[in-house]
Amino acid sequence: MLKTRKPQAPGSRIFLPAAVIFFWRFIGILISSPYNSPLCVLTLCAMRSKLVVGNWKMHGSLAVNAELLQAVRDGAGGLRTEVVVCVPYPYLAQAWTLLEGGAVSWGAQDVSEHDQGAWTGEVSGAMLAEFGCRYVIVGHSERRSFFGDTDGVVAAKFLAARRAGLIPILCVGETLAEREAGMTGEVVSRQLDVVVQASGIEAFAAAVVAYEPVWAIGTGRTATPDQAQEVHALIRGRLCAENAVIGNGLRVLYGGSVKPANAAEIFARPDIDGGLIGGASLAAADFLAICAAT
């Protein structure tokens, strides 16, 4: 008896070869370029670990810090987020003593652009490194507006931090007048570009950027998650244009009146990798709640 082949639906004859071709093309795209392929980009985005940094500014005393540091150390133990506190210079030794061996790192709020010499009142990157600092904030808007840190000085401080093996947290952000004039993108791009030109994009492989709209710092007025995400995407896009691996791997923090009540919504945005926290970092419960919201 002759075997008859079952009639096939017309579509199924081309379905299998088409699926195979599609699959191989997809694999080809994924591995096409080591830097720009979707696989690389997706991997880097997924690899960006969250980071929350407390900026104590000029607050604290030995007694108050001891309680705060102990509570943060105890509370941060079980968190997946990386936690850092940037304390005033005189308290670096105390932070070192109380935090060493735990999950919380410490850093400073500024660094000299010079390595050593007759610079009264300045503190070098090597000195910070000697006190166990891992991070240092550069270009905070309070330094820019009250202490004359120009874009050029900020770039020099960024370089000094890198020379000392520290991870600079580069702050950028527009004033209210600049935002209202529609200049946010221009201002943030300029602040970034000066540093990229001075240090080269490769230096950003060991750096963090913090977007801090000046009008949101210490004012209780936060950028909406949409406003923040828009600028974070701009920052990442600008750095990706120089080097996609570094841009996609870079952690970009949001800062400006982050509180336990608004943190989760802000941190949920795709280009926001954590926060730089001022006022709320002075109360352990608030700071830890923000860290837990990442």
Amino acid at 262: N
CB of 217 to ligand PGA, least distance (A): 4
Q: Which of 40, 44, 50, 55 binds ligand PGA (CB under 6 A)?
A: 55
Sign of CA dihedral 41, 265, 144, 72: negative
Give Cα 224 to chain centroid, integer Å. Answer: 18
Q: Which of 223, 258, 263, 272 binds ligand PGA (CB under 6 A)?
A: 258
Q: Which of 82, 142, 174, 212 is catalytic?
A: 212
Buried b / exposed e along 110-125 (16+ C-beta atoms within 10 A): bbbbeeeeeeeeebbb
Catalytic annotation on 59?
Answer: no
Q: Is 195 helix (H, G, I), strand (E, B) or coil?
A: helix
Binding segment for ligand PGA among 5-13, 97-105, 211-219, 235-243 (CB under 6 A)?
A: 211-219
Indicate whether 274 belongs to the interface with ligand PGA (CB under 6 A): no
Indicate whether 253 belongs to the interface with ligand PGA (CB under 6 A): no
Q: Is 3 helix (H, G, I), strand (E, B) or coil?
A: coil
Rounded CA-CA distance 291/179 in Å is 28
CB of 286 to ligand PGA, least distance (A): 10
Neighbours of 61 (CB within 10 A): 8
Indicate whether 54 belongs to the interface with ligand PGA (CB under 6 A): no
Indicate whether 152 belongs to the interface with ligand PGA (CB under 6 A): no
Question: How many binding residues for ligand PGA (CB under 6 A)?
Answer: 13
CB of 57 to ligand PGA, least distance (A): 7
Rounded CA-CA distance 179/27 in Å is 43
Q: Which of 77, 218, 237, 270 binds ligand PGA (CB under 6 A)?
A: 218
Q: Is 279 helix (H, G, I), strand (E, B) or coil?
A: helix
Binding segment for ligand PGA among 119-127, 150-158, 196-204, 278-286 (CB under 6 A)?
A: 278-286
- Note the helical H segments in the chain: 10-30, 38-47, 62-76, 92-99, 125-130, 141-146, 151-163, 176-180, 184-199, 225-242, 244-249, 260-267, 284-292
Binding segment for ligand PGA among 61-69, 210-218, 224-232, 238-246 (CB under 6 A)?
A: 210-218
Catalytic annotation on 140?
Answer: yes
Which one, of 285, 217, 280, 233, lies nearest residue 53 by Cα?
280
Q: Which of 140, 142, 178, 232 is catalytic?
A: 140
Indicate whether 165 belongs to the interface with ligand PGA (CB under 6 A): no
Q: Is 54 helix (H, G, I), strand (E, B) or coil?
A: strand
Indicate whether 255 belongs to the interface with ligand PGA (CB under 6 A): yes
Q: Which of 40, 214, 276, 288 binds ligand PGA (CB under 6 A)?
A: 276
CB of 282 to ligand PGA, least distance (A): 9
Catalytic residue list = 140, 212
Binding site for ligand PGA (CB under 6 A): 55, 212, 217-218, 255-258, 276-280
